Structures are given as structure tokens and as C-alpha cells.
Structure 1
Amino acid sequence: MDNNTLLITTTENIPGHTYTIIGEVFGLTTQSKNVVSNIGAGLKNLVGGEIKAYTSMLHDSRTKAIERLRDEAAKQGADAVVMMRFDSGSIGGDMQSVVAYGTAVRFTD
């Protein structure tokens, strides 16, 4: 299956398909905040509001984590990933780690 057509869903069941479980897969990325973002974040802490540079960084991190999840599932011969979830956390004060994880499956129908 082509990586771009590999289905990723947060649901347990895929309507119209039966499948066998291959196993757990995940995609991980760690991003660091740049100095300009840190200065902007410090100012936003004073006045409040969204820190758009951080929001963008987290969006990019989730996209990269899903790409890596999809690649890992494809390497294992999966047709889809079910029960996909995200987890994230800070490393030190200036890095953010994002993991996308789920169960790789192969269609039997």
C-alpha cells in the first residue's frame, strides 16, 4: 500500500472492513523553540493571548509525527492504523516532543 493512501483513524472499527492486527506503531518528533519565539512567548505571558509561533510548531510536530507513523505502518505492510492518538510533553524548557501512536492493521476483506 502507498504511504499516502494508508488510512489513519482514531476509531477502533473501520466501516465496511474487517482486519487483522499487525501491532503497535508510532511516529515521534522533537522540536525546539527558537529564540524569537521564546521572546514572543515571554511578552504574551505579560499580556495574554495565543502564542502563534508555538501553535505553529505544535501543528508542524503533529504533522511530522503522523508522517512517521504512516511510514512505520507501511513498512510493516499495514493497510491502516486504528485508534491513533497523540501524546506530547516538554523536554527541558525549550523542546516539545510529540508522538502519534496506534495499531497497524491489514484488511482481510
Structure 2
Amino acid sequence: MADNLINREGLVSGTRPEIKHDRIIMTSADGFDGYEITEYFGVAWGISVRAKDMGQDCAMGCKNITGGELSAYSAMGHEARQRALDQMLSMASRLRANAVINVKFEVEPVATGSAQVVAIGTAVKIVAIENYVPAGAIGNILAEIHDRIATNKVD
């Protein structure tokens, strides 16, 4: 089986895909459904402080009076968030994590026209739980599909 293909038989039986060593997944929750946390590496974070130039700041001040989206500030916010996120994931990678849980963003103004964005989470190692079947409707559907395949009763 090629490295980039998902083990579909395992997936139908509930087993989640293995997280490769060169990838890091993240969530704002305290874990991932179908995965077990095997190691905690500690806090991972990234910080970005971004500012726009005076010309854009003046233009945004006028836009603030006339109304509408402050697009330069939106772009600045997106860029700062992405840089902080990239730094957090880089730190998690250096810690040998393959996942980050409890991810949160904090945004603070530093000065007029600038903002500090902090991305913070807990770097962990997760492994797929074999034959994991989630509770509720999804678990019942997966179990039914698995049973039909196992007994060759595919409609």
C-alpha cells in the first residue's frame, strides 16, 4: 500500500489513520476522537507582532469614519495569526510532537495599528486506537458497514 493512501479496511473498522512523523495536527479540544495520547511534551507557542505603515493606518482611520471592512487590518490579523501558528507548530515539531491539543489564540493591541497574536497549545504524541468505534450514530453506522463487509452481505 502506498504511504499516502488510507487503510480503508481499518478505517471502516474504526481505526484512524496514523499521523506521519512529518505532520502535526491540532485541535482546540483536549484530544482527538479515536487517538490515544501517549506522551506530553509541554507547552508549544508562537508569537507574532504585526504593524501597518502610517499611510495604511491613516486610510483605515478614514474607513473607520465612512464604514466598511478595515481590509488592511484584517490582512494584518490573518498574517499575524498564521505566523504565530507556524511558530507554534515548528516548536511542537522540535519537541517531537505529532499533535497539539487545547490550541488557543490570544490577540492584544500593542500600539495603534499593531497587534500581538499568541498561539498556544500542548504538544503531544498521539497514536491511533485500533478498531476504535465512536459512540453514537457514527459508531453504529461504521459497525454496521464493518459487519456487512465481514459477512459479505453488501447490498
TM-score normalised over the length of structure 2: 0.65
Deviations 1:12-51 (A, max 9, x none): 1201111132111101111111122211111112111110
Deviations 1:64-104 (A, max 9, x none): 11100000000001010001010011112232110100000
Secondary structure, counterpart of 1:78 in structure 2: coil
Does residue 13 of structure 1 match 2:25? no
Higher RCO (C-alpha 8 Å, min separation 6): 1
Distance 1:66 1:23 in 2: 16
1:107 to 126, 130, 147: 126
Unaligned runs of 5+ in 2: 1-20, 129-155
Cross-structure match for 2:45:
26
Secondary structure, counterpart of 1:73 in structure 2: helix
CA contact (8 A) 2:64 2:70 kept: no
CA contact (8 A) 2:41 2:95 kept: yes
Larger radius of gyration: 2
Q: Kindly state the Cα deviation for residue 108 of structure 1 after the two structures are TM-superposed.
A: 4.8
What do you get for the CA RMSD once the two structures are aligned? Answer: 1.2
CA contact (8 A) 1:73 1:104 kept: yes
Greater share of residues in strand: 1
Distance 2:113 2:64 in 1: 15
Does residue 36 of structure 1 match 2:55? yes
Secondary structure, counterpart of 2:49 in structure 1: strand
Cross-structure match for 1:61:
80
Distance 2:28 2:53 in 1: 32
Q: Which runs of 4+ in 1 moved over 6 A?
A: none
Aligned length: 107
CA contact (8 A) 2:50 2:76 kept: yes
Secondary structure, counterpart of 2:35 in structure 1: coil
Identity of matched residues, % = 28
Cross-structure match for 1:91:
110
